[in-house]
Amino acid sequence: GAVVSQHPSRVICKSGTSVKIECRSLDFQATTMFWYRQFPKQSLMLMATSNEGSKATYEQGVEKDKFLINHASLTLSTLTVTSAHPEDSSFYICSASGGAYEQFFGPGTRLTVL
């Protein structure tokens, strides 16, 4: 299957700082990218859907001003957690779709906000 990478794999930051997470499709062009959040022992919850060159569509209850998503190219999407707080600590996973039935998932980024 296709490969999706995420960087960084783990980040620890102080409360109030901003953190940027990158998601890259390495061997295909991703027309759509998705950002999920997963709390311990919970399922993946979709945060937002982004299409290249257009604004992201956020799920109900997700603050668009706090979780900034940029999908600047067909191989790169970024999620910026602004003014992070301890309750934002979670496992963030991106996925990418080239338009077919399958979404390819990245390895995830573990964010810890102190």
Partner 1 sequence: QKEVEQDPGPLSVPEGAIVSLNCTYSNSAFQYFMWYRQYSRKGPELLMYTYSSGNKEDGRFTAQVDKSSKYISLFIRDSQPSDSATYLCAMSLQGGSEKLVFGKGTKLTVNP
> Contact residues for partner 1 (CB under 8 A)?
1, 4, 6, 31-32, 34, 41-46, 49, 91, 93, 95, 97, 99-108, 110
Pairing of strands 76-81, 67-73: antiparallel
- For the CB of residue 70, give the shortest distance to partner 1 in the complex, in Å: 19
Question: Quick one: 7 or 82, whose CB is closer to partner 1?
Answer: 7
- For the CB of residue 29, give the shortest distance to partner 1 in the complex, in Å: 12
Handedness of CA 103, 74, 94, 50 (dihedral sign): negative
Question: Quick one: 49 or 82, whose CB is closer to partner 1?
Answer: 49
